Amino acid sequence: MAGNTIGNVFRLTTFGESHGSAIGGVVDGCPAGLTLDVDFIQQELNRRRPGYSEGSSPRKEEDIFQIVSGVYLGKSIGTPIAFIISNKDQQPSDYAHLEKTFRPSHADYTYTQKYGIRDPRGGGRSSARETAARVAGGAIAKLLLNSLNVRVQAYVSAIGPIMLAADYRTLTLEKAERSPVRCPDEETALNMISYLETLRSQGDSTGGVITGIISGVPPGWGEPVFDKLQADLAKAMLSINAVKGFEYGSGFAGASMIGSEHNDLFEPRQGNDNSQFIKTRTNYSGGIQGGISNGEDIYFRVAFKPVSTIMKDQISVDEQGHQVLLEGKGRHDICIAPRAVPIVEAMAAITLVDHYLRATFSKI
Amino acid sequence: MAGNTIGNVFRLTTFGESHGSAIGGVVDGCPAGLTLDVDFIQQELNRRRPGYSEGSSPRKEEDIFQIVSGVYLGKSIGTPIAFIISNKDQQPSDYAHLEKTFRPSHADYTYTQKYGIRDPRGGGRSSARETAARVAGGAIAKLLLNSLNVRVQAYVSAIGPIMLAADYRTLTLEKAERSPVRCPDEETALNMISYLETLRSQGDSTGGVITGIISGVPPGWGEPVFDKLQADLAKAMLSINAVKGFEYGSGFAGASMIGSEHNDLFEPRQGNDNSQFIKTRTNYSGGIQGGISNGEDIYFRVAFKPVSTIMKDQISVDEQGHQVLLEGKGRHDICIAPRAVPIVEAMAAITLVDHYLRATFSKI
Amino acid sequence: MAGNTIGNVFRLTTFGESHGSAIGGVVDGCPAGLTLDVDFIQQELNRRRPGYSEGSSPRKEEDIFQIVSGVYLGKSIGTPIAFIISNKDQQPSDYAHLEKTFRPSHADYTYTQKYGIRDPRGGGRSSARETAARVAGGAIAKLLLNSLNVRVQAYVSAIGPIMLAADYRTLTLEKAERSPVRCPDEETALNMISYLETLRSQGDSTGGVITGIISGVPPGWGEPVFDKLQADLAKAMLSINAVKGFEYGSGFAGASMIGSEHNDLFEPRQGNDNSQFIKTRTNYSGGIQGGISNGEDIYFRVAFKPVSTIMKDQISVDEQGHQVLLEGKGRHDICIAPRAVPIVEAMAAITLVDHYLRATFSKI
Amino acid sequence: MAGNTIGNVFRLTTFGESHGSAIGGVVDGCPAGLTLDVDFIQQELNRRRPGYSEGSSPRKEEDIFQIVSGVYLGKSIGTPIAFIISNKDQQPSDYAHLEKTFRPSHADYTYTQKYGIRDPRGGGRSSARETAARVAGGAIAKLLLNSLNVRVQAYVSAIGPIMLAADYRTLTLEKAERSPVRCPDEETALNMISYLETLRSQGDSTGGVITGIISGVPPGWGEPVFDKLQADLAKAMLSINAVKGFEYGSGFAGASMIGSEHNDLFEPRQGNDNSQFIKTRTNYSGGIQGGISNGEDIYFRVAFKPVSTIMKDQISVDEQGHQVLLEGKGRHDICIAPRAVPIVEAMAAITLVDHYLRATFSKI
């Protein structure tokens, strides 16, 4: 009810404030027998680290993934997998000047209104640091998806006004990970980096868009009414800090198309082994029809707003309602999108695994 | 788990297939003491009826709202409010030719894959007819919101390529209801109608966009991590048939802005009664910060794909995997957006009421 | 949250007040492909009817089970199975004198305290009439269990001080259904009937005990911590009106045993087909160890308090807090246990089916 | 779904195996502003420690409660309260001989059947060690109940055949905590200790009964259908290891009473401040009517089976299905009841707090 858990069968609960002793999570509902590849999980966490990309904050967080329970001799045993990620870099002094001030477009004001009390150190629970626990939980989900040959990949398709408009099927997605801004097109990536450098010199920030692709999902995942697969994906994405929008398949652009163009015609196909199956000629549906996967790629786009913390002075209001001047200082990302790629993948993976498990009891 | 329920405290469960005896729903968790204005609920249902707008199907459904339980002497008594809407217009013969065929971009194929069995009459459970139960449940939610002075309004801001770009604050929203396409700008509405007429003559369909506004929400509604207010709104919207995208506040456009422009600066204000409160100078945040309402308007946009049923012949595949020709006949809407306005409002209202009730135990 | 739903994967939501237009329910999560034997469901409802046993009320309720959704050509299709049972015998005039009075040991006072409003006709939602919807939902669960060779049976093992102490394994359980008090031992049954006749002449009532047996459950059903199989059974039973206690296996008597006697020793066994399996020599565990079924019979006992409505005058208090005299009149059961047998079975079946479905994703 | 969480608004999730690095829990839904008295929580944990009572195991666990999140400057801030209790005394070598053997009346066999894999060290997740996390979570619930003047108390009312039959209202409950067996009647306590000593010399074990009392609950807590207050209490109690039965109010004894005796007559009363209220003359209802608290004491009894680990050799079966001899050695309690008193209190407190929060939105 307080909303710190996501998923129905595969459930991730996260906990922890930015500058408390640790953050962490509990994965409940992971089937027994899964090999918990801790190196892979750690590697996923490393992908989220600041300092990794051009547009990131200099804070050196070492996010060490530490399993507390649920694993025996390297395998999941069906019990809750709890994990801890210690907060090494606790610098509460940095935030003393913010304790009584509501930063613009942060959660300071709304937390105070809701709870009457808040942890002002680095945004407390509202900090994007919470997403490290999502990445760890998502890595466990990915391990399960791997065993099903389902793959989740994301890349940066826009930073500010610099956009990569190409269809994902024309790109070499593996290149994204080698790019400091996680954009698989090298020329666009250079333009993005150049734009970020300009913003850095101005003390400003920007937003971005991440494109995600889920391939290998068989037909039949998703519940057809309120828990449509796309509905749960949308919720998962909009639950990420700074996300302002989600679209899948044809998305907003599809709204201006006509039906005879947008309809994905079914076609019979024959596999290498002579098996018969059905494909769609186009995939404006984005791999989901009636809330249920149809076997085609699921693809979607997620919009992130500009980072709220900027290196410019801004007016604001303190807890007494007095106007104050907020100095632009401290650590920050110029654009969150590059770091958010593993977060988007994690949330997609968690959503998919949950629906995979839910689909097991659709029929007798 | 099968996903026919939405909400946590205020919960709507819907049931029913398009051509079964009835559809209906159960609202559980409505507080006792609410006056159940049945006329209002019926009026909301009437707003969803086909035949109401230019771009709608000629089927004359009379959706009569009938309360089964949970109301005594006109008031809610805290027990489940069950309701039934009979299916008057059962025409199973219309659908005989579809029984073994998977219509393009419908749910026929995915339901068959998931369940191994399906009700082929009018799409069965996947029919948009299910949304009548949402509108009824949403009407109950609206009655509760009314008592809190919270208002939910939506209008059509695009049909195909015809868009109303104006900021919602410059429009007279009440005009939408008087427009056959539920667009509050008369000139744009005429263009939309003209476009729909062209499509009708071609036997084609199109998509559209609905803009929603929720005003009067006090600060403090929403749970800050996975159940962010925008996350639950996104899920609610993406759970509507044909929706391809959701954005709120600055949305996708916000991704290309810079932080110093996008940040909503707080300002102290004084009410007529000399009370002090805080407002933001701009509202790119869309009334939600850190997943919690901040007292400003919540506004969002929802994209609908073109209607899948068109009056043109299309190739498709039958259950045996053979290519078949699907004739373009039967009933259909040219664009679902005008009829979907009350559905969008209903889903928003249900989400808001649920978070209102959840917010009651945030602090001691 | 308002507690009108039970189950996690197989979920039953009930609705309806005793003297509203109907009661009913929604089963969500029933796998597709189950043959919905409506005659069987109706037969189960008939078993709950008053007038069936000696100790029952003369009201002739005809509980006609009517499916609204979720079934096509006689089979479940994976969508919610909604059903309605009309209230034929609405006699609100009978209850006029109770409208402002709190009947002793009924829910009148607590509902008023909780909701500020109540439906006084026949106890409204608190009436045992609600259990008809449970029996219908339970019948669907039984149909699914039948396909798995799991059998749920219950019988009356005590009415007031008249007890049947014999071990259930020494009884011919089928005899219970032929007994007017649902006791499988004929001599005890006669004593029970005689005791009920005495109470009837005195205008008094009594309580009773029901014993339940679930056979055929394979090892591995149940979740080991909070949702232990026995914990969910206990909740299911205590959620039935008038139930005061639950015990399973050795129960309260087991508390005074010693470990060397109580431990159920494992023994290897060989099946007719030479298969190897494991049995326990005794079954004090009641078929559940660590919250998970072990393949032995699950058996339990449920205690019911005396019926609160009696044909004697009693003092009570009205809504204004004034002492009033409550006349003993109206309809009532002398002992609810015989009619409650199908209710106990229904709640057990719902609990078991839910755990069967949950167990499907315990391991990869 | 995997059942490691209890509660709806106030939710406790526990994690951890007996001999992993730590056990712990996450309390989600605790309202902000509660003073988290860590000394009190630690004191509650100490009450559960072995070595505290005569009938306990010599293992010296030091259960140090360590908060990870959710608390700032000593108060809850509305975010998840995660806590860790390290496992100091990891002795995996003790359990080597049990790795392949199914101990009688333990969960070894059922876990293996369910998960295909298990942590054999000290029972892994099935160990009663998990209940330490419940006691910690329950202590937080107690802190909230204290602020509402609701008190939860439990005591040992039977050990084996030695029973304390007295009505709880005739006892000085505070004496329980000063007794090594947590029995408030000194003479009975001595008999219990004497009986435990006999069993110790025989290498045997026994069961017991705990009586719990919840006082100060106002009318109106509890949801009236499936989530009746007694149903959730029953589930909470039956979820504790070794519990075989639950009864409240008149319980099983009530089943043999007659209605005119069992009905709790309402009476008007006048408070010291001249306020009018309603009391019942008797309290066979056990403080709950129609699933909702009525303002009287809630009292209940919980039966525990004999401890399964005994110091006697027993036959059993190994994973290959071969008969083996299991030596009686290792650590164990003779009777779990004295140590289980704080666990029973914790589960009652969690259940009550959850229903307190749920009751806040019963009416507008």
Residue A276: the pLDDT is: 87
Report the alpha-carbon distance of residue B37 to residue B112 in Å, rounded: 40
Tell me what the pLDDT averaged over chain A comes to.
Answer: 94
Nearest to C224, CA basis, from D70, D124, D337: D124
Average pLDDT over residues C189-218: 97
Residue C54: pLDDT band (50, 70, 90) is very low
Option in B227, B268, B288 nearest A3 (CB): B227
Residue A351: pLDDT band (50, 70, 90) is very high
Residue D361: the pLDDT is: 87
Helix (H, G, I), strand (E, B) or coil at B64: coil
Give the DSSP H or E segment for C237: helix C229-238
Total CB pairs under 8 A between chain A and C: 40
Q: Scanning the structure block, which residue is given the tokens 């010693």? A: C258
Contact C124 B70 (CB under 8 A): no
Total CB pairs under 8 A between chain A and D: 157
Contact B118 C29 (CB under 8 A): no
What residue ranges define each of the domains in chain D, with the CATH number in brackets? 5-249+285-362 (3.60.150.10)
Residue of chain A minimizing CA distance to C147: A364
Over residues D119-156, the pLDDT tens digits come to 999 899 999 999 999 999 999 999 999 999 999 999 99
Residue B93: the pLDDT is: 59
Average pLDDT over residues B289-317: 97
DSSP C10: S
Whether the pLDDT of residue A59 is over 70: the answer is: no
Option in C8, C23, C115 nearest B78 (CB): C115
Q: Global pTM?
A: 0.97
Residue A97 CB coordination number (10 Å): 14
Residue D96: the pLDDT is: 67
Helix (H, G, I), strand (E, B) or coil at C55: coil
In chain A, alpha helices (H): 38-48, 108-115, 131-146, 186-202, 229-238, 251-254, 259-262, 337-358
Whether the pLDDT of residue B61 is over 70: the answer is: no
Which residues of C fall below an 8 Å CB-CB distance to A? 1, 9, 29, 31-34, 78-79, 144, 147, 224, 357, 360-364
Residue B54: pLDDT band (50, 70, 90) is very low
How near does any CA of chain D get to the CA of A40, in Å? 21
Over residues A110-165, the pLDDT tens digits come to 999 999 999 999 899 999 999 999 999 999 999 999 999 999 999 999 999 999 99
Report the alpha-carbon distance of residue A94 to residue A331 in Å, rounded: 10
Total CB pairs under 8 A between chain C and D: 401
How deeply is A295 buried, as exposed, middle or buried, from its count of CB atoms within 10 A (0-12, 13-18, 19+)?
A: buried
Contact D363 B32 (CB under 8 A): yes
Contact C111 D290 (CB under 8 A): yes
Report the alpha-carbon distance of residue C291 to residue C299 in Å, rounded: 14
| Portion of chain A with pLDDT greater than 90, in percent | 87
Nearest to C9, CA basis, from A239, A364, B199: A364
Q: Scanning the structure block, which residue is given the tokens 């509402």? A: D148
Whether the pLDDT of residue A238 is over 80: the answer is: yes
Contact B363 D9 (CB under 8 A): no
Residue B270: the pLDDT is: 87
How near does any CA of chain A get to the CA of B73, in Å? 32
Residue A297 CB coordination number (10 Å): 17
Report the alpha-carbon distance of residue C213 to residue B238 in Å, rounded: 45
How are the residues of chain D apportioned to helix, strand and coil, as percentages rounded to the nearest 5? 30, 25, 45
Residue C52: the pLDDT is: 44
Please report the sign of the dihedral spanned by the C-alpha atoms of residue D111, residue D113, residue D114, residue D115. positive
Residue A99: the pLDDT is: 80
More confident residue, A99 or A95: A99
How deeply is C219 buried, as exposed, middle or buried, from its count of CB atoms within 10 A (0-12, 13-18, 19+)?
A: buried
Residue of chain A minimizing CA distance to C78: A362
Over residues C76-103, the pLDDT tens digits come to 999 999 999 999 866 555 666 677 899 9
Report the alpha-carbon distance of residue A141 to residue C250 in Å, rounded: 41
Show contacts of D148-151: CB within 8 Å, 24+ apart. Answer: D148/D216, D148/D356, D149/D216, D150/D214, D150/D215, D150/D216, D150/D217, D150/D352, D150/D356, D151/D214, D151/D215, D151/D216
Q: D264 contacts in C (CB within 8 Å)? A: 104-105
Over residues D193-218, the pLDDT tens digits come to 999 999 999 999 999 999 999 999 99
Contact C33 A357 (CB under 8 A): no
Residue of chain D minimizing CA distance to C116: D363
Whether the pLDDT of residue D91 is over 70: the answer is: no
Residue C220: the pLDDT is: 98
How near does any CA of chain C get to the CA of D144, in Å? 20
ipTM of the complex: 0.96
User: Most C CBs within 10 Å: which of D9, D113, D119, as the mutation test of the C interface?
Assistant: D113
Contact C1 B28 (CB under 8 A): yes
Residue B133: pLDDT band (50, 70, 90) is very high
Which residues of A fall below an 8 Å CB-CB distance to D? 1-2, 4-5, 8-9, 11, 13-17, 20-24, 26, 28-29, 32-33, 68-70, 72, 75, 77-82, 84, 111, 114-119, 124-125
How deeply is C180 buried, as exposed, middle or buried, from its count of CB atoms within 10 A (0-12, 13-18, 19+)?
A: middle
Q: A355 contacts in C (CB within 8 Å)? A: none
Tell me what the pLDDT averaged over chain B comes to.
Answer: 94
Q: A77 contacts in D (CB within 8 Å)? A: 17, 115, 117-119, 124-125
Contact A77 D115 (CB under 8 A): yes
Report the alpha-carbon distance of residue D144 to residue D354 in Å, rounded: 11
